[in-house]
Structure 1
Amino acid sequence: MAVEPALGSRILKVNHAGEHGAICIYTGQIIAARLTARDMVAELEEFRSHERRHRSIFWSELERRGHRRCRSYWLCALGGFVLGVVTGLLGRKAIAATTVAVERVVLSHLEHQLELLQGKDEAAVAAISAIVEDERQHHDHSAAHLRGGRLWPQVLSPVVAASTEAVIWFGMRA
């Protein structure tokens, strides 16, 4: 399968915007969790610091290539912040369910991107590979918070996953 030369750059742009959206999700959740799940604030701040590092990795590679950020950057920010505040107000299980749903979609996309770009755009592969383990940790750690909780995963997972997929789809076409 031939990979068009710009595909790696387009993927990096969307990933960069997605990381910005993740920062905004965590920011909204941190604000709300100070009222609903104080014991999660430090964890959310740690996850947000990872996402900031991820955004920086993608931005550095985009700058090296001479590219600007994705047009969906601010859409990811606004949507992420609203999602973060709303789920943060719903409490710890909703916060965890949101992270699990987002990370499940993100990990699937990252794995597909690595397969697609392997041997064709090694700089993009290196940037993507640098974040996979953190994203897996966010997923697994948040999934552990959901033990015994069924409501929020059932309600939020389909909506959050579909929204995440839609933003990625839009970003790849913007």
Structure 2
Amino acid sequence: MTVHHKLGVVLTFIVRDRTRNEEIRRLAYDIINTQANQRGMMLGWLDQWGLSPVAADREPMAWMAGSGAHDGHTASTGDARMPGMATPAQLEKLGELNGEAAEIEYLRLMTAHHKGGVDMAEACVDLCSPGAQRQLADGMVTGQQSELELMADLLKERGTAPRP
């Protein structure tokens, strides 16, 4: 999930620098700070436990297998990518856009990103023992669902919707 959060921060820095819309910039500020903070907590736990952020001995997302929350993006399906990850081409396109076009592309990418994040966080809630990790995951679900609603409203104000 640390890699997922890192990409969320990267996407958000791009749009922050490509728009003057204060509502989008406030959302960007919140996402950058929240995801960077959460990523730091997760990296700290991994360091404390002597674990690498990238597990070389298993497929990415294998930990989600068996949870009721995932959307099929697990090693068991042959598609081990993290849900909602933007491609390099999508990042490049976002970096070429400005103003409302950048806002729309960002909101669509971040909507997919957050939906994937919610899937992973729900899997953690299902699989984690009660404690700090489960609390963080539960907070991610709540926070990202709230931001998903805001992003849907922002897209609607711009006369569009998330990609199907």
**TM-score tier after normalising by the smaller chain length:** 0.5 to 0.7
Q: Distance in 1 between matches of 2:96 and 2:35?
A: 20
Q: CA deviation at 1:30?
A: 1.1
Residue number in structure 2 paired with 1:133: 142
Residue number in structure 2 paired with 1:99: 110
**Structure 1 vs Structure 2: percent identity of aligned residues?**
11
CA contact (8 A) 1:25 1:81 kept: yes
Residue number in structure 2 paired with 1:63: 47
2:95 maps to amino acid: V
* Equivalence map 1:25-104=2 (5 Å): 25-34=11-20, 37=21, 39-70=23-54, 79=88, 82=92, 84-86=94-96, 90-104=101-115
Where 1:33 maps in the other structure, the secondary structure is: coil
The alpha-carbon distance between structure 1 residues 93 and 68, as it changes in their structure 2 partners (threshold 3 A), is same
| RMSD of aligned alpha carbons | 3.1
Q: Distance in 2 between matches of 1:124 and 1:68?
A: 17
Alignment length, in residue pairs? 133
CA contact (8 A) 1:30 1:88 kept: no
Q: CA deviation at 1:42?
A: 2.6
Larger relative contact order (CA 8 Å, sep ≥ 6)? 1
Specify which structure has the higher proportion of helix: 1
The alpha-carbon distance between structure 1 residues 87 and 130, as it changes in their structure 2 partners (threshold 3 A), is farther
Unaligned runs of 5+ in 1: 1-14, 159-174
Where 2:54 maps in the other structure, the secondary structure is: coil
TM-score, normalised relative to structure 1:
0.61
